[in-house]
Amino acid sequence: METVNPVTTVWTRDSVTVEKRDVWTAMKRGFVGRCPRCGKGKLFRAFLNVDDHCSECGLDFTPHRADDLPAYLVIVIVGHIVVPTALWIETNYSPAVWLQLSIYLPFTFIASLALLQPVKGAVIGLQWALRMHGFDEKGADDIAPG
């Protein structure tokens, strides 16, 4: 009988060279609608439609999975602005209901639309920086079934 002696591989930080990815820089670039890697190419081809790849560096954007997170974050951000403001105005000035609704509803709608694309870009930048989903060096074909 033959003895199999597997070679033990010790992984260290020096054994693999990977591209450094700064989370805050990637999120800022995504927030302004630019490629999280180079900061030059466009991230979006339409309001919320992410382009297939960066026109400058060729980064593939198709693995992103932003899903509903940007919408949830926008609700939290706008809600934290509108609700305290509405409560403060109501308790201090008590304006008519029609006046409050004519101010709060359009503001909430416009602020939500204005923040949706930047927040989605920041989420995609975060996913790229953290190598989430398909943004790592290995493609889907290189990953062994587990």
pLDDT in tens, 98-130: 999 999 999 999 999 999 999 999 999 999 999
122 close to 97: Cβ distance less than 8 angstroms = no
Single pTM value for the model: 0.82
- Please report which confidence band the pLDDT of residue 143 belongs to, taking 50, 70 and 90 as the band edges: very low
28 close to 128: Cβ distance less than 8 angstroms = no
The rounded distance, in Å, linking the Cα atoms of 94 and 71 is 31
49 close to 141: Cβ distance less than 8 angstroms = no
Q: What is the pLDDT of residue 133?
A: 83
Q: What is the pLDDT of residue 41?
A: 96
Burial class (CB in 10 A: 0-12, 13-18, 19+), 100: middle
The rounded distance, in Å, linking the Cα atoms of 108 and 116 is 12
Residues 6+ apart with CB under 8 A from 129: 21, 22, 23, 25, 26, 27, 36
Q: What is the pLDDT of residue 13?
A: 58
The chain-wide mean pLDDT, for the chain, equals 88
